Structure 1
């Protein structure tokens, strides 16, 4: 059997894992700084928890987990004969891999409401799975890094999450564009375009604008039932770039005006504090997730920034406000808002830019190599004492040829090699070779 990974999944070498840990560490640090608390939820959820929350296309991307044992035993014979996969799947699969971290979070809040203090601010850094077509920056197994707050409809949290996005990308050394819109503005557009009952169809089409262009959006809108008048209204709307220009277009929509007012207040709050990245209104931002009801966030690499012009990548973070996500689990009046960092895409961008700090890939501080068996026993004691002091150190397991041990040190990317022979054992002064320069000097145990 030829070994292989599954489509859309990856193995990671130690150096890659350390780079990923660097990204997770920066994000986690700022989550904690902003007062978010860690939680964890299971890899699998009841399929009823997941379905119907991500829109028509999202449901198609859910990974279903077959029931244990003879999963076909309870399947309806007529449905099997008719090859009705929609019916059969509900009979043979009751569980699914989580698609995101937000819906499981809503379920978590309802189940643990008596143990939580509201507003409840949580973060989670865990893998999710989507049966998407793999391509650069898009995988079927990937990590999300989420921060959410539930139990408040205060727009301060929209401003805070914008600050959080800004802080993380600033520390990572990435110039980003943080784009905001509001689903209520899109609801107002659907209203004046005569598509109030088909708002999801409209937003799904608009959300593809950057991928399929204006002609593609027009075609999809028509396929989803929009008439010529509706298409004209929507196209005029999508050409606006200033939030103030949107207001007169939605003058006859109460919900649209509410969305404009919320976004204006959010931008006002953001403007009270300095930020390092571009923050702007984007009327075309229409993320197609069913549960968003207010603000929408999307972050992309700023390709106008020096050195980042050649980066081709989709969104590297996103999020939004949801008014009633917990109500589907029986708990009403629990509004929330959250964001999610796309760690895989952030990794790919930093790799393309060669922007990881040098120490992000460092594993060991020292490798001890011994020239004979007596030195090896001494080295075992020394490496044990160094580790007890928190020094990252390792010991080559045999007294081998020096060239072989130095080659191993080079492959490990160790900055310093400690050479121990009989003379070093006798004097207590070891020979330290600095790998980057080739410099060699004496070092005693207390100097590590």
Structure 2
């Protein structure tokens, strides 16, 4: 008995309806990328092992899928590493390639390799799958798409303000209202760690602070103390736990705490500029919130940090994020190339829109017109009609065989086709075709020579 097929955990098959919904999201995000002047690129699914490793921290490196070398991959392996089961030493010897973990590091590699061909500032967007050996759960998969937009070769805060607008325009285009665009700054986080005397514990401090809304103040303070941050430092950070008000009010309150940190004050100045620019331009679908607990990708973000939260009441993690990285290309030898980028979480946006019922019902319809097949001569006439309708941009199809009419109607009903065309013996003799409205239940007859009247009905 044949074994029942399956797919790897954390991966999915997509039905026609699901692909239509995913394409709906992608096309609207793509439209906004291009309206903002971004150009598309694509990079390989696999990168060289050395390109990816060491760029995401120890945890990120662990989640990278490695690809075994082809052929006898053990022939060049160090026998001592093999005998000692030293995976860290053995892996680079048997795996020269890996699946990309995200689109950002491959983009940095792309910029370095093609720097002489690009016009800077270079604005690119990229919509491709990535892979992570993560534990699958709702909204988190091992294979998923990222929709990224980045600018390299541009400093200042103008581009950050543009990305806030891009996020807002894209979610408005999707009909996804009520998202929260959270904003913070790496220099502000570094400044806080500096003034409380925990500069050497920046990552531990920010990782714990990032959990404030999930586990509460007491557990955050306990985690900080457990990581070696002194009680005196934690006490100095107390104002952070009570920070409330508008973005401008929070910035003003933070100026008192960060008055002794030059980089902290610089970060606040940039945040204040971003908030002011956003207020002047306005937002349609999003609310801007300064979240001082937000800490993303501290291994490479150096400036403003973004994260997008789903509308209130929707149980979902972030649906987008990004930030400024002033020297990401430096890991590949191209120094002083400032960049900033954002990403849309396609799969999570899909789940949010599905939960809120935001997908247009018309996405479930792949055909506008379906022609019943009554036999060879009738099918020839129907096929000509189908061709004419397709030339007008109308999605039309003909059943491939002269099966029972009931079976063909059932097929059209399952595919939610709104109009079924009948060209039987009588219609063929009179040079006409009958159109049945599957929703209204009415029928109309048109001359085959005047098929454009029917096409005009579908395209008023």
TM > 0.5 fold call? yes
Query: Partner of 1:206 in structure 2?
Result: 209
Please give the per-residue CA displacement for 1:194-225, whole angstroms capped at 9, x wherever unaligned: 33233223223333334444344334433433
TM-superposed CA distance for 1:235, in Å, is: 4.6
TM-superposed CA distance for 1:239, in Å, is: 3.1
| Match 2:263 to one of 232, 247, 255 | 255
Query: Partner of 1:94 in structure 2?
Result: 96
| Match 1:271 to one of 271, 279, 282 | 279
Alpha-carbon distance in structure 2 between the residues aligned to 1:319 and 1:65: 28
Structure 2 residue 204 is the aligned partner of structure 1 residue 196: no
Query: Partner of 2:291 in structure 1?
Result: 282
Query: Partner of 1:306 in structure 2?
Result: none
- Unpaired runs of 5+ in structure 2? 245-249, 456-460
Instruction: Indicate conservation of the 8 Å contact 2:188/2:263, yes or no.
Output: yes
Instruction: Indicate conservation of the 8 Å contact 2:183/2:289, yes or no.
Output: yes
Structure 2 residue 326 is the aligned partner of structure 1 residue 323: yes
Instruction: Pick which of 206-215 and 425-434 moved more.
Output: 206-215
- State how 1:292-307 maps to structure 2 within 5 Å: 292-303=301-312
Instruction: Indicate conservation of the 8 Å contact 2:206/2:293, yes or no.
Output: no
TM-superposed CA distance for 1:154, in Å, is: 2.2
Q: Note closer, same or farther for the CA distance 1:51–1:205 as it changes in structure 2 (3 Å cut).
A: farther
Structure 2 residue 138 is the aligned partner of structure 1 residue 110: no
The Cα RMSD (Å) is 1.6
- Per the normalisation by structure 1, the TM-score is 0.95
Instruction: Indicate conservation of the 8 Å contact 1:200/1:290, yes or no.
Output: no
Alpha-carbon distance in structure 2 between the residues aligned to 1:217 and 1:406: 62
Instruction: Pick which of 90-99 and 27-36 moved more.
Output: 90-99
TM-superposed CA distance for 1:289, in Å, is: 4.2
Query: Partner of 1:229 in structure 2?
Result: 232
- State how 1:239-254 maps to structure 2 within 5 Å: 239-241=242-244, 242-254=250-262
Q: Note closer, same or farther for the CA distance 1:220–1:427 as it changes in structure 2 (3 Å cut).
A: farther
Alpha-carbon distance in structure 2 between the residues aligned to 1:60 and 1:3: 28
TM-superposed CA distance for 1:169, in Å, is: 0.7
Query: Partner of 2:48 in structure 1?
Result: 46
Instruction: Indicate conservation of the 8 Å contact 2:325/2:340, yes or no.
Output: yes
Please give the per-residue CA displacement for 1:219-252, whole angstroms capped at 9, x wherever unaligned: 4433433222233334542432312111111111
Please give the per-residue CA displacement for 1:18-54, whole angstroms capped at 9, x wherever unaligned: 0100000100000000110101111111122212222
Structure 2 residue 161 is the aligned partner of structure 1 residue 159: yes
Query: Partner of 1:120 in structure 2?
Result: 122
Q: Note closer, same or farther for the CA distance 1:87–1:62 as it changes in structure 2 (3 Å cut).
A: same
Q: Note closer, same or farther for the CA distance 1:74–1:210 as it changes in structure 2 (3 Å cut).
A: farther
